[in-house]
């Protein structure tokens, strides 16, 4: 019995040796020496809350707590009082256990909005701003910002990297309230170290135009990133070097300085693990270029005709099938030239070498006999991109806001495709040169408290040159020539466009009105030349199409606030179009109405219904006179018939946002139909496919989607349910058989994230996709399943392991991918280490069977085999 008493005494004695009682006390006063009662003092260790307390009626506070410390430990004290600015102080722990720390707080000059703090200390709500404390949503395995954002309820990262907040695309991604990347924000999310972020703010009712913000409410949403205190006003960054077997690597570096008047950020990445550089600089926003829009930048890019890369994208979520060598460097800065003038610049360089291999068996279900052929593709792509952008913003004293934006892009690409077509070997060589030049000038002028004047002038040039050579000539039977003759084709699609948009906005009582005038010119040409070897150009396979559209528009806008909760928005657009197609001229006059009835913030959510009627005209790719070769077996041709396409669009949406309880609903139904459209009339044989655009009957499209996000407090978890449904009905003609193609697709997904205060946390998901197609009385179906379970184990403050498991079932073909990584981060060290192993089961290929309305494709695609990487990261 005495032995047990001695043992208990030793345990208690040891616990008192390793854990000491720390006592911190002091007084909080204002600059006028007035005591500040009911203020909070929070003590942090490495951004984690250790203890907290409140000041009494005379401003005094006292905090006493147990703490395991070493002589090198430091604690951060943060004092907050209502109406006062936050103040921070640090104390160093040595032999002392009692400290006196006084605070003198400065008064805040601006008015404070109501702040609601959640009991679980993860979220605060400040009117239109929702603030997420990221430490509450981290499991420790996050490497870059995108990993962190995926953990936050209500924020969704699409497969292409675009960000949505409760179903709505974000307008900007800011860092410390400044925009460094504009629509190229994927460079930031995929490369910025997640460790530097302290808070993520969701900014509802966002508007970066200060004149417009004071004048009207906005429906835009943005994200703002708040850095940790020690990363502000100093140079910070990291170098991450990762090397592995089979010449695999994934290395990155970042360096930044974020001060109030100047912000600089340089991001670099090179890898061979499936993350291409080009995908990170693709625009994060799609703009409808068929009509002017004063709120967005109008940047048009012409369609590329030639494309010998005919390997279809897969459903895989983690780029398991991408073989690449990629590099990017992005330099962004923003600086305040004065109190009213800001200059932003962004320059990037990307390089990708991509290899694709697949075996494709294709069968067309066409009467009276089906057509079958096989293709084995071996594709190599070299894609280089260089771009620079310069933006100047100035807010003058006379309430006028100017923005000028200039951008230049250069994107040369080389594509080599060696095809085994049935038993015949074919070589395809494609070289592209693409240039883009964009100019934007916007001026917003406050005329009075009730009237604004907005002006937008833009000018752009797009030049795309493509050369294609094919050997041998698999079309020799079609053209009655020798099969050893090489096919050569050169094509250019120059595009020049410019325009002016001017709008007067006014408001009176419950009404808002606007009158907008615009004049735009699009000059869109297609030039191509087709020949065999060095023989003369074949006129019937060459084009010289000149297409010009001069458009004048006037739009009347009227919005009326029916009640505190209900608002009506409407517009009526008159459009006069002058078209020139080569020597032919035509005129079109459109009247396009739009109306929307929607609620404002209500206790049960927001509702809205809308209708708009829109008339469109075809672009140049529908109007080429003769055939153009797209790849070794496909020709496309336009039509000289220009007809307007009239579309009816109906919509209904419902959203519910309770950020306080983290309960979010987003639902939308859209239905559209047109009276006619441009569809393909195709003649398909085993050797070739000749497709010509023609005016056919219109189609129908219906989409329904629903997402529900809920934080389950008893389980410390977030659960999200997503479903999306599409119905389409479009006519098509294949081998003289006209028939509608009727499609239905459904997607169901359940996903969740746990935030246990335990050493283990999970991310899980299940997805089912179903597709059904009908053509010429034939019905086909497709089934796709995906499930994932990721487990993160934190064994101690320095050791963390993560297992990622993903299961795919594609039309009864099953695949399992497993990844593992272990992270070691020594305490109080700038160094960290990560060992990762991907594709542990060494899956080397997969078969994807896709059955559409009129064809069946069975494709075998290679995947990245098992590889191991060791990463060493240094943060400064």
Tens of pLDDT along 225-277? 999 988 888 999 999 999 998 889 999 999 999 998 899 999 999 999 989 99
**Per-residue pLDDT tens for 22-73?**
888 999 888 878 888 878 888 888 777 788 888 887 888 888 887 776 655 7
Distance CA 663, CA 118 (A): 13
Output the pLDDT for position 854.
66
Is pLDDT at 112 greater than 60 in this prediction?
Answer: no
Rounded to an integer, the average pLDDT of 784-801 is 92
Distance CA 568, CA 586 (A): 36
Output the pLDDT for position 109.
56
Tracing tokens 């907040």 back to the chain, one arrives at 165
Cα angle 85, 87, 93 (rounded to 5 degrees) comes to 165
The CA-based diameter of the chain, rounded to the nearest angstrom, is 110
- Judge whether 813 and 846 are in contact, CB under 8 Å: yes
- What average pLDDT does the structure give for the chain? 87
**Per-residue pLDDT tens for 747-786?**
999 999 998 888 999 999 999 999 888 877 778 788 889 9
Q: pLDDT band for position 332 (50/70/90)?
A: very high
**Per-residue pLDDT tens for 529-556?**
999 988 899 988 999 999 999 999 999 9
Is pLDDT at 482 greater than 80 in this prediction?
Answer: no
Question: Which residue, among 407, 505, 403, has the nearest Cα to 457 in the 3D structure?
Answer: 403
Rounded to an integer, the average pLDDT of 124-140 is 85
- Judge whether 659 and 668 are in contact, CB under 8 Å: no
Question: Which residue, among 567, 559, 556, has the nearest Cα to 601 in the 3D structure?
Answer: 567
Output the pLDDT for position 125.
81
Output the pLDDT for position 121.
57
Q: Which two tokens stand for residue 279?
A: 């995908």
Output the pLDDT for position 5.
38
Q: Which of the two residues, 437 and 53, has the higher pLDDT score?
A: 437
Q: Which two tokens stand for residue 216?
A: 């009207």
Output the pLDDT for position 850.
67
Phi, psi of 214 (to 5 degrees): -75, -20
Distance CA 157, CA 754 (A): 18
Distance CA 440, CA 404 (A): 6
Q: Which of 348-357, 387-396, 800-809, 845-854 has the lowest mean pLDDT?
A: 845-854
Is pLDDT at 372 greater than 90 in this prediction?
Answer: no
Q: pLDDT band for position 19 (50/70/90)?
A: low
- Judge whether 641 and 623 are in contact, CB under 8 Å: no
Residues with Cβ within 8 Å of 412's Cβ and at least 6 positions away in sequence, in order, are: 384, 431, 432, 433, 434
Cα angle 34, 40, 44 (rounded to 5 degrees) comes to 130
Output the pLDDT for position 775.
77
Query: What is the three-class DSSP state of 17?
Result: helix
Is pLDDT at 874 greater than 80 in this prediction?
Answer: yes
Question: Which residue, among 262, 131, 151, has the nearest Cα to 198 in the 3D structure?
Answer: 131
Rounded to an integer, the average pLDDT of 94-117 is 69
The structure's pTM equals 0.80
Question: Which residue, among 304, 433, 415, has the nearest Cα to 355 in the 3D structure?
Answer: 415
Q: pLDDT band for position 315 (50/70/90)?
A: low
Beta bridge pairs of residue 568? 560, 597
The one-character DSSP state at 536 is P
Rounded to an integer, the average pLDDT of 296-321 is 80
Residues in the chain: 876
Output the pLDDT for position 321.
84
Q: Which helix (H) or strand (E) holds 278?
A: helix 278-281
- Judge whether 55 and 36 are in contact, CB under 8 Å: yes
Beta bridge pairs of residue 733? 681, 738
Question: Which residue, among 230, 290, 289, 275, has the nearest Cα to 438 in the 3D structure?
Answer: 289
Q: Which of 25-34, 140-149, 197-206, 391-400 has the lowest mean pLDDT?
A: 25-34
Q: pLDDT band for position 284 (50/70/90)?
A: low
Bridging pattern class, strands 103-105 and 19-30: parallel
């Amino acid at each position: 019995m005495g032995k047990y008493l001695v043992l208990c005494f030793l345990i208690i004695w040891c616990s008192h040796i390793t854990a000491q009682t720390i006592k911190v006390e002091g007084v909080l006063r204002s600059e006028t020496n007035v005591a500040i009662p009911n203020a909070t003092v929070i003590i942090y260790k490495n951004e984690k809350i250790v203890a907290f307390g409140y000041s009494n009626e005379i401003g005094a506070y006292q905090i006493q707590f147990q703490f395991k410390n070493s002589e090198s430990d430091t604690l951060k004290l943060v004092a907050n009082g209502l109406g006062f600015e936050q103040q921070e102080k640090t104390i160093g722990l040595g032999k002392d256990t009692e400290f006196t720390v006084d605070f003198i707080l400065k008064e805040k000059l601006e008015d404070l909005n109501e702040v609601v703090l959640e009991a679980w200390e993860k979220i605060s709500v400040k009117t239109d701003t929702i603030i997420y404390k990221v430490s509450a949503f981290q499991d420790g395995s996050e490497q870059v910002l995108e990993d962190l954002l995926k953990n936050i309820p209500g924020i969704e990262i699409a497969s292409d990297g675009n960000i949505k907040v409760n179903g709505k695309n974000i307008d900007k991604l800011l860092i410390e309230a400044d925009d460094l990347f504009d629509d190229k924000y994927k460079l930031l999310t995929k490369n910025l170290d997640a460790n530097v972020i302290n808070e993520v703010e969701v900014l509802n009712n966002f508007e970066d135009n200060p004149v417009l913000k004071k004048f009207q409410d906005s429906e835009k949403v943005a994200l703002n990133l708040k850095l940790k205190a020690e990363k502000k006003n100093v140079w910070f960054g990291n170098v991450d070097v990762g090397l592995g077997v089979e010449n695999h690597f994934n290395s990155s570096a970042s360096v930044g300085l974020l001060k109030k008047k100047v912000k600089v950020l340089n991001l670099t990445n090179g890898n061979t693990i499936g993350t291409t550089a080009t995908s990170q600089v693709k625009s994060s926003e799609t703009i409808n270029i068929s009509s002017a829009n004063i709120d967005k930048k109008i940047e048009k890019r012409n369609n590329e005709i030639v494309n010998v890369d005919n390997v279809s994208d897969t459903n895989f979520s983690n780029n398991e099938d991408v073989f690449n060598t990629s590099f990017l460097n992005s330099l962004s800065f923003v600086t305040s030239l004065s109190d009213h003038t800001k200059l932003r610049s962004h320059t990037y360089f990307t390089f990708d070498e991509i290899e694709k291999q697949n075996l494709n068996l294709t069968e067309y279900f066409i009467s009276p006999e089906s057509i079958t052929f096989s293709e084995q593709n071996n594709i190599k792509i070299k894609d280089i991109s260089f771009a620079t952008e310069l933006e100047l913003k100035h807010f003058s004293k006379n309430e006028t806001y100017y923005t000028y934006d200039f951008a230049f892009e250069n994107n040369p690409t080389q594509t080599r495709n060696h095809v085994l077509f049935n038993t015949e070997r074919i070589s395809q060589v494609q070289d592209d040169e693409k240039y883009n030049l964009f100019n934007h000038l916007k001026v917003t002028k406050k005329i009075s408290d009730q009237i604004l004047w907005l002006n937008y002038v833009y000018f752009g040039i797009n030049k795309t040159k493509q050369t294609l050579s094919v050997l041998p000539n698999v079309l020799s039977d079609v053209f009655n020539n020798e099969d050893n003759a090489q096919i050569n084709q050169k094509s250019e699609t120059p595009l020049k466009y410019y325009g002016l948009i001017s709008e007067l906005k006014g408001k009176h009582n419950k009404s808002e009105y606007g009158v907008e005038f615009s004049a735009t010119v699009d000059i869109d040409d297609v030039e191509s030349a087709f020949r065999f070897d060095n023989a003369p150009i074949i006129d019937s396979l060459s084009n010289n199409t000149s297409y010009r559209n001069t458009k004048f528009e006037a739009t009347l806008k009227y919005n009326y606030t029916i009640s505190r909760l209900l608002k009506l928005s409407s517009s009526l657009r008159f459009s006069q179009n002058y078209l020139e197609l080569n020597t032919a001229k035509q005129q079109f006059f459109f009247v396009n109405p739009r109306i929307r009835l929607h609620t404002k913030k209500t206790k049960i959510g927001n509702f809205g219904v809308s209708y708009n009627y829109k008339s469109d005209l075809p672009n140049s790719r529908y109007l080429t006179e003769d055939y153009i070769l797209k790849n070794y077996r496909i020709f496309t041709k336009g039509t000289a018939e220009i007809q307007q396409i009239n579309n009816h669009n109906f919509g209904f949406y419902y959203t519910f946002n309770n950020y306080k309880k983290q309960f979010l609903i987003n639902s939308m139904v859209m239905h559209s139909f047109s009276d006619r459209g441009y569809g393909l009339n195709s003649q398909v044989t085993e050797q070739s496919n000749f497709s010509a655009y023609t005016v056919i009957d219109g189609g129908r499209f219906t989409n329904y989607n629903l997402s529900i996000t809920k934080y389950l407090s008893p389980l410390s978890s977030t659960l999200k349910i997503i479903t999306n449904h599409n119905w389409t009905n479009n006519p098509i003609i294949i081998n003289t058989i006209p028939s509608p193609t009727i499609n239905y697709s459904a997607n169901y997904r359940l996903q969740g994230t746990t935030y246990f205060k335990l050493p283990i946390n999970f991310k899980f998901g299940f997805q089912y996709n179903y597709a059904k197609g009908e053509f010429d009385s034939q019905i086909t179906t497709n089934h796709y399943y995906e499930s994932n379970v990721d487990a993160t184990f934190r064994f101690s403050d320095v050791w963390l392991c993560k297992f990622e498991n993903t299961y795919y079932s594609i039309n009864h073909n099953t695949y399992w991918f497993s990844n593992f990584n272990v992270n070691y981060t020594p305490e109080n060290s700038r160094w960290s280490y990560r060992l990762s192993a991907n594709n542990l089961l060494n899956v080397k290929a997969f078969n994807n069977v896709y059955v559409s309305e009129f064809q069946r494709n069975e494709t075998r695609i290679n995947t990245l085999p098992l590889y191991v990487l060791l990463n060493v990261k240094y943060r400064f």
